Structure 1
Amino acid sequence: MSITQHHFLDVYRARQLGEPAPPAPGAHDWQVVREWRDHRQFRAAVMAGRPARERIRAGLGRWLRGRRRSTG
């Protein structure tokens, strides 16, 4: 079964169960690549003792704000 056939089967099952359809294959590939690159840059900065910058700092800020809300 190809990935396209499997996706169509998943969409059919989701409609039968009244659930939202799963994303199409490859829909989030670029986001995964960006996150992987950011993670590598963050690890390199931490190991070199440099502060985080740009997207990394913004992502860490969002993550920390979310954790503060959920713990308090």
Structure 2
Amino acid sequence: MTDTEVNAAWPGRLPPEVEAFILETVEMIHELDDTGLHEMTPHFYQHGYEQVRMSLRDLLTILGHDPDA
């Protein structure tokens, strides 16, 4: 999707709660990326998966999709 398409879909600025959600999600992904090799345990992967899954569900909901459909 181009910047023009994104701006057409979201005219003006994003609502503050959506911007906050995006920033939190980006921070979470950075934290996962910055994890050292010795910390990458099965628990790390399960926790990371759950965090990404919840963020993706929230994003789908924000975009008007029902993640349970």
Q: Could you state the TM-score of these two structures normalised by the residue count of structure 2?
A: 0.36
User: Which structure has the larger Rg?
Assistant: 1
Q: Could you state the TM-score of these two structures normalised by the residue count of structure 1?
A: 0.35
Which structure exhibits the higher relative contact order, with contacts defined as CA atoms closer than 8 Å and separated by 6 or more residues?
2
